[in-house]
């Protein structure tokens, strides 16, 4: 397993760390010291990645420093092989930015960027963090819709040819990306809903104030299928190069930069999500299997991109 935890476990005695306890409460090092260590160990993974000549799938280069899963490693692999002219990122749905796809880029590679989240509290937290004065980072509180996203971007980023865009807003990801024309990023990372399988190009209908918590009690009714995103990416000039091993995010590279990477279609590159985020009607986690999670929202309607019609999930025959 290629992960930061491997290194920390090797150094457990030396550092007197207990990785099974909450880091914020139990580590003898404070968060800033831990971040410095995490970045240092992340650099060791970066050196390993640079020595790889060829990979068959993105999971071979995964490692986690600040990303939710192994995306830090995947991103480092991509930027090592692509000459990025403008080292600028935009990330939607950053929460408090302690766990994100772009923080390692910011702190390790000295990129600059824009992060957007709908919570004022999260944005205030970020602005009080030491990264905000140490790096060229802009954090704004805005609830993103397909109608305001280009205006938000243009107000904060004047360069169209940016390095990376990360989209994770738990709902309207497909619709927002479809509308974006203010930038033309080289790398795009977008969350997909693996419950919707690999064969149908379907997406939850657009709603400007969409909330995953309110759309359906299961918290499983959100986003787009991988095939819907791959089709959209193709239309926008991108190649699909794979998913993370947890089945959460899909990675796309602009066609004029994608010659270095293996390409996939939605079926061959699909990864079924390992996570179980379903809830019951009282809001409690019930950890349903994929089939049972689909049954829980079987009566809900979803939009088929190809047929351009609304279909009940139970009629999709999802695989």
For residue 26, what pLDDT is reported?
44
Identify the sign of the CA torsion 61, 62, 65, 67. Answer: positive
The domain that contains 88 carries what CATH number?
A: 3.40.50.150
Give the closest residue to 286 by CA, choosing from 198, 220, 239: 220
Q: Looking at the domain assignment, is residue 146 inside a domain?
A: yes
Lowest mean pLDDT among 21-30, 41-50, 131-140, 214-223: 21-30
Sheet holding 202-203, edge to edge: 202-203, 301-304, 309-312
Model confidence pLDDT, tens digit, residues 174-195: 999 999 999 999 999 999 999 9
Q: What's the average model confidence in pLDDT over 197-212?
A: 95
Q: Looking at the domain assignment, is residue 261 inside a domain?
A: yes
Model confidence pLDDT, tens digit, residues 36-59: 888 888 898 899 999 888 899 999
Q: Looking at the domain assignment, is residue 100 inside a domain?
A: yes
Q: How many CB atoms lie within 10 A of CB 43?
A: 14
Q: What's the average model confidence in pLDDT over 61-85?
A: 95
Q: What's the average model confidence in pLDDT over 242-249?
A: 97
For residue 126, what pLDDT is reported?
95
Q: Looking at the domain assignment, is residue 215 inside a domain?
A: yes
Confidence band (pLDDT; 50, 70, 90) for 29? low
Q: Looking at the domain assignment, is residue 9 inside a domain?
A: no
For residue 276, what pLDDT is reported?
87
The C-alpha atoms of residue 266 and residue 198 are separated, in whole angstroms, by 6
The C-alpha atoms of residue 217 and residue 230 are separated, in whole angstroms, by 28
Q: Looking at the domain assignment, is residue 15 inside a domain?
A: no
Q: Looking at the domain assignment, is residue 98 inside a domain?
A: yes
Task: Count how many domains the chain has.
Answer: 1
Residue 174: domain span? 66-315
Model confidence pLDDT, tens digit, residues 275-300: 888 899 888 989 888 999 999 999 99
Identify the sign of the CA torsion 236, 238, 241, 244. Answer: negative
Lowest mean pLDDT among 2-11, 99-108, 250-259, 271-280: 2-11
Confidence band (pLDDT; 50, 70, 90) for 93? confident
Q: What's the mean pLDDT when you consider all of the chain?
A: 90
Q: Looking at the domain assignment, is residue 23 inside a domain?
A: no
């Amino acid at each position: 397993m290629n992960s930061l935890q491997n290194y920390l476990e090797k150094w457990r005695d030396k550092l007197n760390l207990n990785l099974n306890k909450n880091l914020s409460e139990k580590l003898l090092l404070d968060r800033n010291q831990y971040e410095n260590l995490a970045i240092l160990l992340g650099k060791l993974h970066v050196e390993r990645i640079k020595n790889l000549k060829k990979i068959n799938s993105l999971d071979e280069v995964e490692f986690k420093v600040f990303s939710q899963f192994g995306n830090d490693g995947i991103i480092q692999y991509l930027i090592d092989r692509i000459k990025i002219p403008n080292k600028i990122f935009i990330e939607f749905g950053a929460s408090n930015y302690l766990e994100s796809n772009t923080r390692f880029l910011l702190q390790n590679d000295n990129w600059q960027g824009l992060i957007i989240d709908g919570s004022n509290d999260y944005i205030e937290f970020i602005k009080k963090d030491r990264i905000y004065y140490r790096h060229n980072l802009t954090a704004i509180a805005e609830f993103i819709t397909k109608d305001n996203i280009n205006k938000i971007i243009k107000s904060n980023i004047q360069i169209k040819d940016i390095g990376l865009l990360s989209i994770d807003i738990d709902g309207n990801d497909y619709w927002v990306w479809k509308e974006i024309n203010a930038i033309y990023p080289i790398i795009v990372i977008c969350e997909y809903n693996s419950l919707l399988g690999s064969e149908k190009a379907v997406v939850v209908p657009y709603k400007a104030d969409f909330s995953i918590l309110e759309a359906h009690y299961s918290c499983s009714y959100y986003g787009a299928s991988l095939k819907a995103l791959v089709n959209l990416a193709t239309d926008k000039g991108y190649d699909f190069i794979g998913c993370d091993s947890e089945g959460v995010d899909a990675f796309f590279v602009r066609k004029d930069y994608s010659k270095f990477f293996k390409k996939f279609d939605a079926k061959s590159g699909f990864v079924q999500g390992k996570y179980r985020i379903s809830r019951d009607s009282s809001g409690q986690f019930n950890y349903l299997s994929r089939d049972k999670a689909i049954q829980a929202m079987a009566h809900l309607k979803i939009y088929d991109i190809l047929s351009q019609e609304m279909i009940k999930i139970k009629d999709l025959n999802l695989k």
